[in-house]
């Protein structure tokens, strides 16, 4: 069936459901699990010509985001390992979330991507677009979308 399943998570309630389903599916299939969290870059260009933000503040904020992402995927890895699965925790840094998910699936030789139907709500989803939709339309790896 599946040998390696990538689960994309942002730590939200909906993505936690996707994680649970991915772990269950990996258990049934005897597959390995790759937990992925994509950390965006700090949006410095939005503030050009206006607010001055130091490079140290940007670096500190990005490190906080990366640390949070690492904690999220480490928890998924521990959960999966606690259920007897082989699991890996991966944090990627990119503003191109969907592309990072697709790239990670290829890099780690995953044969399925599991993700929630959406991670952002309201105006952020309208402005940023649907990462899930992008993965669905551009991935050569099958995608399981959960609500």
Name the more confident of 102 and 128. Answer: 102
Domain boundaries of the chain, sorted by first residue: 4-146
The pLDDT value recorded for residue 128 is 43
Please, what is the average pLDDT of the chain? 89
Contact criterion met (CB below 8 Å) for 5 and 33:
yes
Say which CATH topology domain 4-146 has: Rossmann fold (3.40.50)
The pLDDT value recorded for residue 130 is 83
The distance in angstroms from the start CA to the end CA of the chain is 23
Angstrom distance (rounded) from CA 69 to CA 37:
6
For β-strands 32-39 and 4-8, DSSP reports them as parallel
């Amino acid at each position: 069936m599946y040998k390696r399943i990538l689960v994309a998570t942002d730590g939200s309630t909906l993505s936690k459901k996707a994680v649970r389903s991915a772990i269950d599916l990996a258990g049934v299939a005897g597959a390995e699990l790759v937990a992925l969290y994509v950390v965006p870059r700090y949006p410095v260009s939005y503030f050009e010509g206006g607010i001055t933000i130091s490079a140290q503040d940007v670096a500190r904020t990005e490190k906080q985001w990366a640390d949070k992402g690492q904690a999220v995927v480490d928890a998924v890895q521990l959960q999966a390992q606690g259920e007897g699965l082989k699991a890996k925790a991966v944090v990627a840094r990119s503003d191109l979330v969907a592309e990072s998910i697709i790239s990670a699936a290829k890099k780690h030789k995953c044969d399925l991507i599991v993700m929630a139907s959406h991670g952002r709500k309201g105006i952020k989803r309208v402005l940023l677009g649907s990462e899930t939709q992008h993965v669905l339309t551009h991935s050569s790896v099958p995608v399981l979308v959960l609500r």
